[in-house]
Amino acid sequence: MRAQQRGFTLPEVIVVIAVVGLILAAAVLFMRPKDYSNQNSDADRQLGIAAIAQGLHDYKNKNGTWPPGLPAKDVVIGNVQNGFDLCHYLVPDFLKGIPLDPALGTQYVGDDTSPTATSDPCNQDGVKYFSGYVVRQDANGKVTVSAGSVAQAKLEITIE
């Protein structure tokens, strides 16, 4: 009589390893939290351009015209880097401050070589800002405020 052999065959071991591997892979995929940071940044951008557009709309309603000198092509809103400064038109009458893009926007005091971040409003002496948002006025008088986006090509609001 032959002694009985105990244990698993090679195909049985391979099947068990494959099943355990599939279960682990599914667990990693389903339990990994989704990253919403890009969507949150785009939501902040949408709120920023909406606030600027609302401020511009309110300015036009009060004054009967857009702020003078609005550019015909996309120009960054800011008082640095050849930007178009909306601060002295909108702050503090229509906005508490110019919103800043969550990734690109900056507001600081000091010179460009040694800036110090500040939360002071852009209409205070010495405060420089780069919003990260752009503004333009077309030939028909419509004004567009826009921002770059991670999830979409561009976020923009046009007002008449």
Q: What is the pLDDT of residues 15-44, one digit of tens each?
A: 999 999 999 988 888 887 766 666 678 889
| Contact present, 46 and 127 (Cβ < 8 Å) | no
Nearest CA-CA partner of 159 in 85, 75, 61: 61
**Residue 18: DSSP 8-state:** H
- Residues present in the chain in total: 160
Measured at the CA of 74, the angle between CA 100 and CA 109, to 5 degrees, comes to 35
Element (DSSP H or E) covering residue 44: helix 37-63
The answer to whether 131 and 77 have CB atoms below 8 angstroms apart is: yes
Domain ranges of the chain: 40-159
d(CA 148, CA 155): 6
Prior bond to 67 cis, omega within 30? Answer: no
Q: pTM of the prediction?
A: 0.74
Is 86:66 a contact under the CB 8 Å cutoff?
Answer: no
Q: How far is CA 65 from the centre of its chain?
A: 29
Q: Is the Cβ–Cβ distance between 99 and 46 less than 8 Å?
A: no
Q: What is the pLDDT along the chain (160 residues), one digit of tens a residue?
A: 566 777 888 898 999 999 999 999 888 888 877 666 666 788 899 999 999 999 999 999 999 999 999 999 999 999 988 999 999 999 999 999 999 999 888 899 998 788 999 999 899 999 999 999 999 999 999 999 999 765 566 889 999 8
